[in-house]
Amino acid sequence: MLFDPQFYDPRTSVEHIVAYPYWMMNAEGFSTQDFGEDRVADLCYRTVEYQTSELSVDEVILPGRYTNSPTENWFETQSIIANSVTGHNIGVPVYSTLALGPDVIAASESLDEIIDEAIAWPTDGVYVVVRHPNSDRFLIADDVFLYNLLSALLSLERAGKNVILGYANQQMLVAAAVGIHGLATGNFRNVRQFNPDMFRPDGSEPRSRAVWYYDSISLSEFRTNALALAYRRGMDDLFTSSSPFDELLLSASNPALVRWGERQAFQHYLCCMRRQWTTLQSHRAHDRARAVIGMLEGARRRIDAFGERGFLLGGRSFLPALEPSESAVSAIASDRAHDLAVNRG
């Protein structure tokens, strides 16, 4: 179990965030007007204490401020946070947080500087969250953005850091190509796409309660009523169970009549993601990029098969992300073949 301190916007007033006991710095309440080294260190101490004593986490995630334009103050704050654990026997691995905006990822020189700093931090790993270049889109269709992100993750891993990529969706399975430690994901769209606006009272993204079925082969999602229509048209042969949680749904003659709700959809998605991730990780380091390309090629064949039968995937089709994902992984496999071959995994 891990816990995200959600310190991306320290001036937030979102009630469920500031209610955590580590957030309050004094009796008058949290203030960032004079957020100096002592206050940062105090916040980190409280955060670690909450995670280890109250939650008994397996690994500790330190706070980390979001930036889309790193400044000297941001670098200094991040360094103070990372060094706050020096000399403390926490007893579990500790991760720094890197919360980066799309402009940072796009600017390779700025990103390289940040990665160099993160490598020097005295923590065991890095918890990375990134804002997509187009926040209104669920999946990333920018191959340069994906390339820069994968390259940065690979550099952290090669430097001996364990890397967890947070707010991940099924597209981030491609990160297995560079051997990172793991993904943190969830059922709702707003926990599979990092957006710092969620931590501001006037910018919270509402949580959709609609139930989506994740087709792990096509890496796409669709509503269960679309599945029911496909079955009515005699296309049930296109769908095979990929977790214990979708068997009842897919074995029914009419999926629309099955009570398959949010909980089952969540369990199914997580089960599929875990299986896909562990399968990709099981390959030797120098074979993982090839395995990821194979997964993407399989998704293309699956989507093509759907289209030939007149089954339209809709707004959560993986098709727009296919070519950028293939391009980025192929480029990394070519440009950094040596680093992939000697990756710690």
pLDDT tens profile 117-164: 999 999 999 999 999 998 777 899 999 999 999 999 999 999 999 999
Please give the structure tokens belonging to residue 188: 């709702």
For 338, how many CA atoms within 13 A lie in the half-sphere containing its CB?
0
Closest CA to 226 of 307, 311, 302, 304: 311
> Mind listing the pLDDT tens digit for each residue in 17-63?
888 988 865 444 545 445 667 788 888 999 999 999 999 999 999 99
Domain boundaries, the chain: 1-127, 132-345
d(CA 136, CA 19): 29
Q: Give the per-residue pLDDT at 207.
A: 55
d(CA 244, CA 270): 11
Closest CA to 217 of 234, 197, 237, 239: 239
Could you give the C-alpha distances from 329 to 173, 174, 308, 334, 342, in angstroms and in order?
11, 7, 27, 9, 17
> Per-residue pLDDT for 340 more than 80?
yes
Q: Give the per-residue pLDDT at 220.
A: 96
Query: Which of 58-67, 86-95, 298-307 is the least confident region?
Result: 86-95
Q: Give the per-residue pLDDT at 210.
A: 72
Q: Give the per-residue pLDDT at 15.
A: 82
End-to-end, the C-alpha distance of the chain in Å comes to: 22
Does the model's pTM come out above 0.85? yes
> What are the two backbone dihedrals, phi and then psi, of residue 223, each rounded to the nearest 5 degrees?
-75, 155
Burial class (CB in 10 A: 0-12, 13-18, 19+), 91: exposed
d(CA 76, CA 74): 5
- Banded pLDDT at 101 (limits 50, 70, 90): very high
Q: Give the per-residue pLDDT at 24.
A: 60
Q: What is the mean pLDDT of the chain?
A: 89
| pLDDT, mean of residues 310-338 | 94
- Banded pLDDT at 13 (limits 50, 70, 90): confident
Structure-model confidence comparison of residues 36 and 311, the more confident one: 311
Asked if 98 and 118 count as a contact pair (C-beta separation under 8 A), the reply is yes
DSSP state of 131: B
Q: Give the per-residue pLDDT at 27.
A: 42
Q: In sequence order, which residues have a C-beta less than 8 Å from that of residue 247 and are 6 or more positions away? A: 241
- Banded pLDDT at 10 (limits 50, 70, 90): confident
Burial class (CB in 10 A: 0-12, 13-18, 19+), 103: middle
In the three-class reduction of DSSP (H, G, I as helix; E, B as strand; rest coil), residue 83 is classed as helix
